[in-house]
Structures are given as structure tokens and as C-alpha cells.
């Protein structure tokens, strides 16, 4: 977590005390020289490093969970949006365009992609569009100066531009597009390229190109705790994770 402001740094330190003292995480407070070693940039002068942190490839992670579920006997159907939900005796029937499934219990885990089937799920969050960009693999001269420490970078005070260089040398970064042009891939890439050039001036003139651009919806709530719903008769919801779904969903699933 990187910043240029002393007040933000003090807030970050105070927040990190919980994770250090209550959760046993290894926390380091970084000076300007340590930040330069870690990030390759002189722009950020202060930072908090979570040594026990990590990162997840959500596509591979999701497919890994699917394989594990199938190994335990689950049946998984993709591209089969539920279009209706009805009671059949003491059970539920979930109908799709291709067929239907009968079940004693139904759990909605649609996060920001709720439909009108259950109004309580559709009307209990704020949908927010986010985008992500991956570049082509960086040239060797760029890889030498952009995040040589291998950490994931978050710019504080509002966790802007979460940024990582992956194992293939590609920059992956995300943010929020304008509501009027969320599909403006080139415009958003140009914005991030300016940010990269500001943070690592050595990259100006280097050949950094966009490879992929994609968008998705995030489900936000007025409170940090996710949406956990029990509507009775075996109908449940577990969603609305305030952009923390990849981390929190599996932990909640294990708990339940």
C-alpha cells in the first residue's frame, strides 16, 4: 500500500495494527529508499508491506473450485441462466432456457448479476462497473524498473489502480471507467499509461501496449459485511461482497 502523504501513512499503520496484533500477519513500514527498492519508483515515499499477502488469478481460481466441486459429486452447468423459480410441492424448481433442476434448497450466489427472480437480491446493492487491462509482456528494460520486488501495488488513500506484473511480464491494472463510456478501452489504457509514465518516468518511450480489456460489475453495499439472506423455506442468498468476492466467498463457503 503506497502513498506520498504522511497522514495517509499514519492511517495505514493504524489499520495494519489489527492485522499484525490480532491476525499475526507480518507487517513492514517502508521508507522512501525501501519503497524505491520494492517498486522501482521514486514517486511513492511511504508504504505498508503485508508480507503474508498474495494475489489470485480469478479465472484459474474459479475453474479450480469447479473441478474440486465436481470431484466431490457436484454437477455444474455453465451458460444456463436461471429464468424462473417456483415451488413444486415441498421443493424448489429452478428453470433455465435449456431445462430445470429441482432442489430442497436454493442458494443465490450471483453477486452483482442478480435478475428479477428474487426482488430482495436485485434491490439490495449498488451495481458498479469496473474494468481491467492487461498489457502485452513488457520489454526487458521495463520489467527491470516496474515493480522489481514482485509485490502487488495499491495506491492509497482510496486503493486506486491495483497493479501487478504477472508471471508473463504483463501489467494487470484495474479501475473504474466513466459511466458514459465504460467500453472505451483505448481511452482507459491511455489514462493508465500516463499514470505508469508518471510513476516510472524511465518507461517513457518504451514499447508498452495493451493486450486485453474487460469489464465487470461489482456489488456494493452500505455496510462492509456481505449480503447474507435467509428468506425461509430453503431459499438463501450469499452475495454483494463489496469487491472482495474472490477472497471472501470461499471463506464464507467453508464456514457455511
Residue 8 confidence (pLDDT): 94
- Amino acid 237: pLDDT: 92
pLDDT band of 248, cuts 50, 70, 90: confident
- pLDDT for residue 158 is more than 90: no
Q: What is the pLDDT of residue 160?
A: 73
Q: Which range among 35-44, 132-141, 173-182 shows the weakest confidence by mean pLDDT?
A: 173-182
Per-position DSSP letters for the chain, written without gaps between them: -EES-HHHHHHHHHHHHHHHHTT---EEEE-HHHHHHHHS-SS--EEEEETT-----HHHHHHHHHHHHHHTT-----S--EEEEEEETTEEEEEESS-EEEES-EEE--TT---SSSHHHHTSSEEEEEEEEEESPPPHHHHTTSSTT---EEETTTTEEEEEE-TTS-EEEEE---SS-TT-HHHHHHHHHHHHHHH-GGGTTS---EEEEEEEEEEE-SSSS-EEEE-STTEEEEE--TT-HHHHHHHHHHH-
CA neighbor of 106 nearest in space, from 232, 3, 190, 215: 232
pLDDT of residue 89: 94
Supply 213's cell numbers.
Answer: 480489456
At residue 148, the pLDDT reads 94
Q: What is the pLDDT of residues 118-133, one digit of tens each?
A: 988 888 898 889 999 9
With a CB cutoff of 8 Å and minimum separation 6, the contacts of 87 are 93, 233
> What does pLDDT average to over the chain?
92
pLDDT in tens, 88-122: 999 999 999 999 999 999 999 999 998 889 988 88
Kindly state the average pLDDT of the residues 214-242.
90
Q: What confidence score (pLDDT) does residue 224 get?
A: 81
Look up residue 221 and give its three cell numbers. Answer: 453495499
All three cell numbers of 227, joined, read: 449480503
Amino acid at each position: 500500500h503506497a502513498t506520498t502523504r504522511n497522514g495517509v501513512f499514519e492511517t495505514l499503520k493504524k489499520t495494519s495494527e489489527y492485522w499484525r496484533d490480532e491476525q499475526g500477519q507480518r507487517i513492514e513500514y517502508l521508507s522512501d529508499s525501501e519503497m524505491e527498492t520494492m517498486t522501482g519508483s521514486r514517486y511513492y515515499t511511504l508504504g505498508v508491506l503485508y508480507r503474508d499477502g498474495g494475489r489470485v488469478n480469478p479465472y484459474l481460481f474459479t475453474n479450480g473450485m469447479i473441478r474440486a466441486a465436481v470431484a466431490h459429486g457436484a454437477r455444474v452447468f455453465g451458460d444456463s441462466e436461471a429464468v424462473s423459480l417456483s415451488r413444486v410441492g415441498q421443493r424448489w424448481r429452478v428453470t433455465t432456457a435449456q431445462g430445470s433442476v429441482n432442489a430442497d434448497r436454493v442458494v443465490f450466489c450471483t453477486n452483482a448479476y442478480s435478475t428479477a427472480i428474487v426482488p430482495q437480491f436485485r434491490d439490495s446493492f449498488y451495481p458498479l462497473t469496473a474494468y481491467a487491462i492487461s498489457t502485452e509482456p513488457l520489454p526487458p528494460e521495463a520489467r527491470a524498473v516496474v515493480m522489481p520486488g514482485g509485490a502487488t501495488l495499491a495506491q492509497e488513500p482510496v486503493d486506486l489502480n491495483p497493479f501487478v506484473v504477472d508471471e508473463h511480464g504483463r501489467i494487470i491494472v484495474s479501475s473504474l471507467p466513466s459511466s458514459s463510456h465504460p467500453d472505451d478501452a483505448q481511452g482507459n489504457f491511455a489514462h493508465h499509461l500516463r499514470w505508469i509514465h508518471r510513476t516510472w518516468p524511465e518507461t517513457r518511450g518504451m514499447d508498452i501496449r495493451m493486450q486485453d480489456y474487460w469489464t465487470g460489475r461489482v456489488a456494493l453495499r452500505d455496510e462492509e459485511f456481505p449480503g447474507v439472506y435467509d428468506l425461509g423455506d430453503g431459499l438463501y442468498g450469499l452475495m454483494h461482497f463489496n469487491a472482495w468476492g474472490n477472497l471472501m466467498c470461499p471463506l464464507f463457503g467453508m464456514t457455511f
